[in-house]
Amino acid sequence: MDIMSLIMALVVTSVGLLIVSKLPTGVEIDSVGKAVISAIIFGLLNAVVRPVFEVLALPLTLITFGLFSLIINAVIFGLAAALVEGFRLRWGLISAFIGSLALSLVNSILYKIIG
């Protein structure tokens, strides 16, 4: 992945987080700067922590035909919120679950628009 792809992913995720925070998802982000920091932390967690979770949860993921990966997404989202001051989840794990689903949808739409 080159530097432009990383910058594009950072911008898309930051904008996606801002959009998700404006939806009734229970996700709150104080500012654009907090959204950028949250996107960086979210990306680092996806790169470092997600593979560990996926290996540890492989039996559950297989038993649930992949649906347990939604829980892993919510946990990663919640960890990012816990690590960044100014990124809050109003309803805890429920907000993390709804927010991670909404972020996936919004990011997909943004990437389709960008091309």
Structure tokens at 59: 């039996």
Residue 84 CA, distance from chain mean position: 13
CA distance 57 to 68: 8
**Would you list the domain boundaries of the chain?**
3-114
Amino acid at 97: F
Report the pLDDT value the prediction gives residue 21, as an integer from 0 to 100: 97
Show the low-confidence residues of the chain (pLDDT under 50). none
Report the pLDDT value the prediction gives residue 16, as an integer from 0 to 100: 97
Report the sign of the C-alpha dihedral through residues 86, 106, 4, 53, in that order.
Answer: positive
- The answer to whether 55 and 26 are in contact (CB under 8 A) is no
Name the pTM for this structure. 0.93
**47, 40, 7, 104 alpha-carbon torsion, rounded to 10°:** 70
Q: How many helices (H) and strands (E) does the chain have?
A: 5, 2
Mean pLDDT of the chain: 96
